[in-house]
Structure 1
Amino acid sequence: MKRVIVDYKKLTPEILSLLVEKYPDGYDDDHVITFKNAKNETVEAVEVRDNDSIYLVKVSSRLEVSMANFEEDDYEEAETNEPIAEFLDRKKMDDEEE
């Protein structure tokens, strides 16, 4: 099984959907895993799994907001591998042009 550390900037709709499904009311301190990365920096993350991967998603305030506002229908048109941050930036620019 593949293990992947994911930052908010690289978060895909697929992974965000897994997070919202696993933590529908949000995550709390009991769900947060703390570890040291290769640079000896402390990292806090929450874990989600799919059929072939374990994702450790770094905890941030932007992650909490994205989970709270997640509507899967909003991302149906997005490519599943397009990061959420890029999708939201593109959507914001499209809205400003209108």
Structure 2
Amino acid sequence: MAILEDCGLGLPPYYSWRSRSGCYFCFYQAIGEWQGLKENHPDLFEKAKAYEKVEGGKPYTWAEGRSLDDIERLERRYEVVDGLELDGCAICHL
């Protein structure tokens, strides 16, 4: 992050609702990040929801056993932890 700050670019705007860069359907996202995806990119949120559809087996959920439909219905807005303190994605390292 310091590289972006040092060269004058600053942090990308999506850091206001995400803790790190990476895939829109990253299963490491916190609930608040899924909520931010729904608010900022509803089309990508719907694409991620399509992965949860049951095709003859147990349904897949992204966040702590909650489906994205469940997350959509939450009344509480979850906070996103500052990504500057976190490591990137353990899979893609973004």
Question: Which TM-score applies when normalising by structure 1?
Answer: 0.31
Q: More helix per residue: 1 or 2?
A: 1
Higher RCO (CA-CA < 8 Å; seq separation 6+): 1
Q: More strand per residue: 1 or 2?
A: 1
